[in-house]
Chain A
Amino acid sequence: MVYVAMVTGFILILMGLYGALTNSNILRMIVAFSVANTGVNIVLVAVGYIDGRTAPILDAAVPVAEAAVRIIDPVPQALVLTAIVIGLGVTTLMLAYAYKLYEIKGTLDIAQFSELKW
Chain B
Amino acid sequence: MIKRFIVLLFLLGLGLVFAGLLSGYSADNELNLTGRYYAEHTAQDIGAANIVTAIIVTYRGLDTLGEVTVLFLTATIVAVLLGRGVAQKGKSLQRDLPKSGELLTTGSFLLVPLILLLGAYVFINGHLTPGGGFQGGAIVASAILLMLLTDPLRHFSHRLISIIESISGLFFLGIGVLGIFLAGGFLDNRIFPIGEFGSLFSAGAIPVIYSLIGLKVGAEFSSMLVNFSETEGS
Residues of A within 8 Å of B25, CB to CB, are: 6
Q: Select A18's contact among B7, B70, B227, beta carbons within 8 Å.
A: B7
Interface majority SS (helix, strand, loop, mixed), chain B: helix
Q: Select A71's contact among B39, B81, B128, beta carbons within 8 Å.
A: B39
> In whole angstroms, how far apart are the Cα atoms of A78 and B22 in the complex?
23
Q: Which of B49-57, B146-154, B174-182, B183-191 contacts A (4 or more CB under 8 A)?
A: B49-57
> In whole angstroms, how far apart are the Cα atoms of A6 and B27 in the complex?
11
- Counted as pairs of residues, one from A and one from B, with CB atoms less than 8 Å apart, the total is 132
Residues of A within 8 Å of B10, CB to CB, are: 21
Chain B residues numbered 124-176 whose CB sits less than 8 Å from any CB in chain A:
128-130, 132, 134
B91 is an interface residue with CB less than 8 A from chain A: no
A58 and B49 contact, CB distance less than 8 A: yes
CB distance from A71 to the nearest CB of B (A): 6
> In whole angstroms, how far apart are the Cα atoms of A96 and B74 in the complex?
10
Residues of B within 8 Å of A85, CB to CB, are: 67, 70-71, 134, 217
Q: Select B22's contact among A7, A58, A92, beta carbons within 8 Å.
A: A7
CB contact under 8 A between A14 and B14, given known A50-B29, A68-B36, A73-B28? yes
**From A97, which residue of chain B is reached at the shortest CB distance?**
B81
B106 is an interface residue with CB less than 8 A from chain A: no
**From B54, which residue of chain A is reached at the shortest CB distance?**
A74
Residues of A within 8 A of B (CB): 2-3, 6-7, 10, 13-14, 17-18, 21-22, 48-51, 55-59, 64, 67-69, 71, 73-75, 77-78, 81-82, 84-86, 89-90, 92-93, 95-97, 99-100
